[in-house]
Structure 1
Amino acid sequence: MSKKIVHYINQFFAGIGGEEKADTAPEIQEKVIGPGLAFQKEFGEDYEIVATVICGDNYFGSNIEKGVVGELLEMIKKYEPDGFIAGPAFNAGRYGVACGTIAKAVQNELGIPVVTGMYVENPGADMFKKDVYTIETKDSSADMRNSVPKMAALLKKQIEGQEVFGPAEEGYMERGIRVNYFHERRGSERAVELIVKKIKGEEVYTDYPMPIVDRVAPAPPLKDLSTAKIALITSGGVVPQGNPDHIESSSATKWGKYSIAGMDHADKADFMTVHGGYDRAFITEDPDLCIPIDALRKLEKEGKIGKLMDYFITTTGTGTATNNAKRFAEEYVPMLKEDGVDAVLLVST
């Protein structure tokens, strides 16, 4: 008898639609859909995806406290699955959080093996990688062909009771779990070999990597806001109508600088948002919610701040790699310094 698998995906991978369908309520279909086709091929004849659970990213995130997880569990439970897959979510933040949340719930409540997959910078990774096996993927669905075999193999190992090896061997993210084992070589010998490799500049591997924490010292507070020049920066994806610099809706590789000279507020006739990570309806109707020109001009007129710069800087924050975000700042900070900017108001969404 085949082992039964249930698969969780969002509205996009179910083929229902993109952001405009992110409020899709939970449903379950007794067929293989989207990425499930690749999983089914990897599993082979002894495994069967008996059902696909679908839920829109916005619906999931907005209804966690209202019981969406319990609702999904009831859908999954009736199939009495032997294993559960969520995703992969790649760098889609809300999808990653949903995958981690439901995978952990299934593991805890139903007591069956689970696996998910996502990009290392997905917020769901930090939240759930220590709770559930999370295969490390690249940042887009172009990595599907590499991610699916790893996820399928890891789930099969768990179901069949085979030994699961470390992250380097299996491809999952470090969980902080240490297991004692006997090595054929003494620890002192291996330690000497490791230090010699480091001295030579050769690639090394350690069973106990140290975390790398990027620390940035906070700037001192402004002594007098009434004389300060303030610049406005947003990761909310607000751009002039038409998106003249073609800033991406996610995984941004560029930023833009746009004039707000003479503007008392951000008019929807002048601005739009290209951000792909939130419901854009409110910002589309009132861009001041993301670039608060109206509030800052008011403070400027009241003398509470010295001057609002006549431009703002923008990009999209969803899925944007840390290295790109760092590069953006390295590019525009010298300009801000040259313009005499004293402080920046960074607005997210």
Structure 2
Amino acid sequence: MIRVVHYINQFYAGIGGEEKADITPESREGFIGPGMGLNGLLKGEATIVGTIICGDSYFNENMEEAEAKIIEMVKEFKPDLFIAGPAFNAGRYGVACGAVAKAVEEKLNIPVLTAMYPENPGSDMYKKHVYIVETRNSAVGMRQALPAVAKLALKLAKGEEILLPSEDGYIERGIRKNYFNAKRGSERAVDLLVKKLKGEEFESEFKMPVFDRVEALPPVADITKAKIAIVTSGGTVPKGNPDHIESSSASKYGEYNIEGVMDLTKDTYETAHGGYDPTYANDDSDRVIPVDVLRNMEKEGKIGSLHNLFYSTVGNGTAVASSKKFGEEIAKKLIADGVDAVILTST
């Protein structure tokens, strides 16, 4: 019997949501949460002997320490296979699943896999290192995800040949394999061209990357009359991080009033960002969002006015889909407030 260890977060373990995201790693005998369905789908060829649970915030904020603890817990179960997730589009959970799976594979030398939505930041970070079964963007897709996970898990555990991503249901890893084709490249290229000209379905042998291009708008006509706003992915927040913006894989952004604020001091502002050394940003948050300079420009008549609200989130590991959503929401608010231009800062 193939012995499996399953990794899940605090939510799927039934412990709690965001308020319990700081729990430290713990292990339990057998299976819980989605592991119940997964274990049944392993068809008696494998069984989940243990489950490792860790809070998403704890893992992402203490990655090295969390990985070390989890590795020791996994070792105790003497597994033949390790499965993490599915994480769907939960950013911090996806990063944790990918990181733990990679660490287990490297340290324990056993097959591993996880599952998540392609736009989960964990996908881009770990798809070259571990197999990631493609899922829908939410737990609504659990019924489709678990059978796909079980199928690929058994193939990995048995050492069977892993087929193309489209056949075995995992996210493309960017690995190209040489093979012999009955037709020459020139002949295949002509076949593709003919299909394209006829309007028939065709599939390129080399997928091109898709880039999100945004056309630049015309310059501000008169900057001395313009209302300027600040938006940042540098994580600047009022002291204490009142909205609890995550240090990595942010699920939210904050809106903060700076009416009458001339300078961001270390006593009143800090950064929530976990992707860079915060020392200098915490000492003077104007280094991330230049409120002091813009106030001077406002006084000198170089700009019309500084908007009384600024928007902040953390770009570290945040999903592209989440970033787009934040941007669209913030843009609507800025337009409604009559803002003419935005200074977007990062780290």
Give the TM-score normalised by the residue count of structure 1.
0.73
- In structure 1, the residue matched to 2:321 is 321
Tell me, yes or no, if structure 1 residue 18 matches structure 2 residue 17.
Answer: yes
Q: Which runs of 5+ in 2 are unaligned?
A: 238-249, 263-272, 275-284
Distance (Å, rounded) in 1 between the aligned partners of 2:259 and 2:55: 41
Post-superposition offset of 1:312: 5.8
Distance (Å, rounded) in 2 between the aligned partners of 1:49 and 1:207: 38
| Structure 2 CA distance for partners of 1:259 and 1:125, relative to 1, 3 Å | closer
Distance (Å, rounded) in 1 between the aligned partners of 2:338 and 2:148: 50
For the 8 Å contact 1:24–1:55, the answer to whether it is kept is: yes
| Structure 2 CA distance for partners of 1:304 and 1:23, relative to 1, 3 Å | farther
For the 8 Å contact 1:28–1:54, the answer to whether it is kept is: yes
Post-superposition offset of 1:37: 1.1
Tell me, yes or no, if structure 1 residue 193 matches structure 2 residue 191.
Answer: yes
Q: Which amino acid aligns with 1:6?
A: V
| Structure 2 CA distance for partners of 1:195 and 1:169, relative to 1, 3 Å | same
Post-superposition offset of 1:298: 5.2
Structure 1 range deviating more: 323-332 or 29-38: 323-332
- In structure 2, the residue matched to 1:86 is 84
Distance (Å, rounded) in 2 between the aligned partners of 1:60 and 1:327: 27
- In structure 1, the residue matched to 2:211 is 213
Paired residue total:
312
Which residue, 95, 98, 104 being the options, matches 1:97?
95
Instruction: Write the deviation string for residues 278-300 of structure 1: whole angstroms up to 9, x where unpaired.
Output: 9xxxxxxxxxx9x9898688557
Instruction: Write the deviation string for residues 14-39 of structure 1: whole angstroms up to 9, x where unpaired.
Output: 00001110111110000211110121
**Identical pairs, percent:** 46
For the 8 Å contact 1:230–1:305, the answer to whether it is kept is: no
Post-superposition offset of 1:344: 2.9
Distance (Å, rounded) in 2 between the aligned partners of 1:259 and 1:9: 34
- In structure 2, the residue matched to 1:283 is none
Q: Which runs of 5+ in 1 are unaligned?
A: 239-249, 266-276, 279-288
Q: Which amino acid aligns with 2:53?
A: I
Residue 5 of structure 2 aligns to a residue whose secondary structure is: strand
Instruction: Write the deviation string for residues 282-327 of structure 1: whole angstroms up to 9, x where unpaired.
Output: xxxxxxx9x9898688557654973113566799996672795498
Distance (Å, rounded) in 1 between the aligned partners of 2:216 and 2:30: 53
Structure 1 range deviating more: 117-126 or 203-212: 203-212
Instruction: Write the deviation string for residues 183-212 of structure 1: whole angstroms up to 9, x where unpaired.
Output: 344433322211112223332213321222
Post-superposition offset of 1:333: 9.9
For the 8 Å contact 1:226–1:303, the answer to whether it is kept is: no
| Structure 2 CA distance for partners of 1:304 and 1:60, relative to 1, 3 Å | farther
Residue 20 of structure 1 aligns to a residue whose secondary structure is: helix
Q: How does 1:201-280 map to 2 (within 5 A)?
A: 201-215=199-213, 229-233=227-231
| Structure 2 CA distance for partners of 1:326 and 1:166, relative to 1, 3 Å | farther
Distance (Å, rounded) in 2 between the aligned partners of 1:191 and 1:123: 34
Distance (Å, rounded) in 2 between the aligned partners of 1:70 and 1:259: 38
Post-superposition offset of 1:213: 2.7
Post-superposition offset of 1:42: 1.1
For the 8 Å contact 1:10–1:55, the answer to whether it is kept is: yes
For the 8 Å contact 1:58–1:94, the answer to whether it is kept is: yes
For the 8 Å contact 2:80–2:157, the answer to whether it is kept is: yes
Post-superposition offset of 1:262: 6.0
Distance (Å, rounded) in 2 between the aligned partners of 1:16 and 1:171: 30
Q: Which amino acid aligns with 1:340?
A: D
Aligned-residue Cα RMSD (Å) equals: 4.4
- In structure 2, the residue matched to 1:243 is none
